[in-house]
Amino acid sequence: MPNKLEVLLSQLQEQIEPAQRLQLLNDLSEEYSDIDYLKAFETAEEMYQLALKHNIDHFVAQALGQKAWLHTSFGNVHESFAFVSQAQRIYTRLGDEKGLAQTSLHASAVLRRLGDYPGALEEALTALDLYQTYRDRQGVAETMARLSYLYVHLGDYEQAEIYGLKAYSEFEVIKGSGGIYKFSIPNSLAMAYFHQNKPIEAMNIFLREVEFLRRQNNKSDLGVALNNLGTVLLELDRLAEAEELVAEALLLDVETNHRYGEINCLFTLGEIEEKKKNYEGAILYYSQSLEKAIANHVEQIVYELHDRLAVVYECVGQVEMAFDHLKKYRKIREPLFKTESLDRIRGLRIVHETKQAIEEARRNAEVVSQRNREIELLQKTLTTTSTYPERRHILDVVCMEMSSALKSTLSMAITIDSDHQHGTIEAGFHGDNKLDLLDLKLSELIDRDSQLVINILDSGRIEMIRDVDSYFGSTSRLAAVVKKMGISSLIAIPIIVNKRTVMVLVVGFDSKREFTDADINLATTLAASLSQIFENAHLYQSLVAAHDTLSKAYDATIEGWAKILELHDLETEGHARRVTEQTIKLAQAFGVSSDEIIHIRRGALLHDIGKLGIPDQIILKEWKSNRRRMGDYA
């Protein structure tokens, strides 16, 4: 079976339509970026030239973003910054805020490598705000990882760990839903752990990612992961293992033309030699790394290398060389971390945290409002259950409230028979129009073995369909019916009673909809509550039927005892019935309720029940007739 790269190359040979070809080139450049930076760059350049030729600005900006990212990996930081700036201008002109978010993230990486930490932080916070606005979880995760890196280099390790954990949490969700893999996300958390003196936690993350990247044959990310794992092992004094891994990483970086990776690997090999007290070897590796960092304008590594060389030269007694490197270290570092820069960084953090707090308060207000709508809906449903005797009236109210709460175009309740073969639209609304009662044969609309039917009817899962066209395909009869009603996205909520789906509530929208956590919560709450309401109604009906049967049996028993009394004394035949009739009339005249009259009737029928315990010779004495007349009167 061909892999994704082969499929893209095959499609590219066949595709001549510019927009489609540009999209394929974009996908191909991203695919190459995991295995060969040079091919990735060549593909991005072809995409850039084709987009310019056809004046397709969106792809021009995308190509510039790709070239910027790849130039950063090559170490060509100034060229990268120029490409990022051009892409930002195009996205601003197009009003494409998603594109701006991506280029802000690229700009943050470039500015960090240029040593402009306030600028890098500002761009990352801008990207985070934009990604959060569009609920782009991949973008949010990547940006939080970037912020984690920045705070590591700024020495705020606690903040770095907070952002690293948030990024990793999003990353786990993305991986589970088939999102694009980004090693930078787990890498940021591992680095935060490492700088928080938690090397074991960092090592465990790197070991998992190295194993995964080997399986994926992702050479560029594998080189970074191996180098970082080597750094952790160096901290744990496992020098031989560290050296072997970093040497492998260096070979991968050379193979993929990852110059920034080469600089880092040479730096790490120098640290290993320094820890082994092989200072000459350390000087060799540090000098090679410094030469490449200066050539590629990676300022934030340059000053660190001057610092390490100053220490090593001091260890071998070359004081003048040590002092020369120390002066260069201070000259480069001090402007980067002077008071004004640090104050600006703190100010940016305070402003962002304030904005985040306001945004959190707004989201909380939305949640509270949604909860209020849920409670109001459930209260109306419960109230209606006791007010309307007919279920259809109840379901009409439920459908109206669903439409109101979710601002939908369509809402309907479909009851399902016990064999899951037929359904009936019992209630619902399309816009302001009430739906007619309609019987459906489910097999004529959708295959019984389809995943949607299995999920709803068999598993009882809520289904949220963002795009009806792409979900069902063009051949589905159900899709045709739904589209005819002007529905582009929908929610299907199964109602479970006695572990069986007895009803499906359908909510439809006239446009594609990104379903929020609030939508999911409302649907889940509604499904659980209505399932409980209908199950309780079912139990109540069963209880009423059982109670009715028991009452009839009880009345029959009482009437049987009354007949036994009459058989015991034939002269009083019909006495119990007459007393009962007169007693009921009297009770009704006094305004006694019908519920209470039931018990009075039973008492009247049994008013002479004590006779059964009296011997016949007493009851049948001669004065009995007088006693009988008194009883009749009574």
pLDDT digits (tens, 9 = 90+) for 241-298: 999 999 999 999 888 888 888 999 999 999 999 999 999 999 999 999 999 988 877 7
Give whole-number Cα distances, 376 to 389, 397, 519, 543, 593, in Å: 21, 12, 15, 29, 35
Q: Quick one: CA dihedral 300, 303, 307, 310, positive or negative? A: positive
* Distance in angstroms (rounded) separating the CA atoms of residues 314 and 283: 11
As given in the structure block, the two tokens for residue 484 are 């005819």
Position with higher pLDDT, 617 vs 85: 85
pLDDT confidence bin for 338, thresholds 50/70/90: low
Q: Which residue has the higher pLDDT, 92 or 550?
A: 92
Q: What is the pLDDT of residue 341?
A: 60
Residue 463, helix vs strand vs coil: strand
Return the minimum-mean-pLDDT range out of 194-198, 313-317, 499-503. 499-503
Report pLDDT digits (tens) over 20-46.
Answer: 888 888 888 877 776 677 788 888 888
Half-sphere exposure (Cβ direction) of 500: Cα atoms closer than 13 Å = 9
What pLDDT, on the 0 to 100 scale, is given for residue 280? Answer: 93
pLDDT band at residue 388, thresholds of 50, 70 and 90? very low
Q: Up-side HSE of residue 612: CA atoms within 13 Å toward CB?
A: 11
Banded pLDDT at 2 (limits 50, 70, 90): low
What pLDDT shows up at residue 34? 62
* Band of pLDDT at residue 3, cut at 50, 70 and 90: low
**Residue 437, CB-side half-sphere exposure with 13 Å CA sphere:** 5
Across 310-421, where does the E strand assignment appear? 410-416
The token duo for 248 is: 């492998």
283 versus 383: which is more confidently predicted?
283
Strands (E), 350-475: 410-416, 422-430, 433-434, 438-441, 463-465
Q: 226 falls in which pLDDT band (50, 70, 90)? A: very high
The pLDDT score that the predictor gives to residue 458 is 83
Residue 167 near residue 144 (C-beta atoms within 8 A): yes
Residue with tokens 């109840």: 394
The DSSP secondary-structure symbol of 172 reads H
Please, where are the H alpha helices in 217-338? 219-235, 239-255, 259-275, 279-295, 299-315, 319-336
Kindly tell me if the per-residue pLDDT of 240 is higher than 90.
yes
Sign of CA dihedral 344, 350, 354, 357: positive
Query: Average model confidence (pLDDT) for the chain?
Result: 78
Element (H, E) at 388: none
Task: Return the C-alpha torsion angle 544, 549, 551, 556, nearest 10.
Answer: 170
pLDDT of residue 350: 61
Average pLDDT over residues 219-225: 88
pLDDT above 90: residue 7 = no
Give the pLDDT confidence score for residue 387 in this predicted structure: 46
**Between 365 and 203, the higher pLDDT residue:** 203
Q: Which of 2-6, 165-169, 374-378, 451-455 has the lowest mean pLDDT?
A: 374-378
Instruction: Pick the most confident of 199-203, 347-351, 355-359, 443-447.
Output: 199-203
Q: Residues 6 or more apart from 575 whose CB is under 8 A from it?
A: 566, 608, 631, 632
At residue 361 the predicted structure's pLDDT band, cuts being 50, 70 and 90, is low
Reduced to 3 states, what is the DSSP secondary structure of residue 276?
A: coil
pLDDT (average), residues 142-164? 86
Q: What are the beta bridge partners of residue 434?
A: 429
pLDDT at position 267, please? 95
Q: For the chain, what percent of residues have pLDDT higher than 70?
A: 75
- Cβ atoms within 10 Å, residue 453: 20
Res. 633 pLDDT band, cuts 50 70 90: very low
The whole-number pLDDT of residue 611 equals 66
Q: 615 — phi, psi (to 5°)?
A: -60, 150
Q: Count of residues for the chain? A: 634
More confident residue, 290 or 400: 290
Reported as a pLDDT band with limits 50, 70 and 90, residue 626 is very low
Q: Give the C-alpha separation, 567 to 553, whole Å.
A: 21
Q: Three-class SS of residue 504?
A: strand
pLDDT at 624: 42
Q: What is the pLDDT of residue 632?
A: 35
- SS3 state of residue 473: coil
Which residue type occupies 615? Answer: P
Rounded to an integer, the average pLDDT of 605-629 is 58
pLDDT band at 312 (very low <50, low <70, confident <90, very high): very high
Judged against a pLDDT cut of 70, whether residue 363 lies above it is answered with no
Which tops the pLDDT comparison, 214 or 576? Answer: 214
Structure confidence by residue, pLDDT tens digits, 471-484: 876 656 777 778 78
The whole-angstrom separation of Cα 464 and Cα 626 is 83
- At 288 the pLDDT is 94
pLDDT at 105: 87
Q: Report residue 288 CA to chain centroid gap.
A: 46
Local structure of 428: helix, strand or coil: strand
Assign 532 a pLDDT band (cuts: 50, 70, 90).
Answer: low
| Across 8-12, 33-37, 305-309, 444-448, least confident range | 33-37
Average pLDDT score over residue span 165-178: 73
Does 451 score more than 90 pLDDT? no
Of residues 507 and 448, which shows the higher confidence score? 507
Pick the more confident residue, 529 or 286. 286
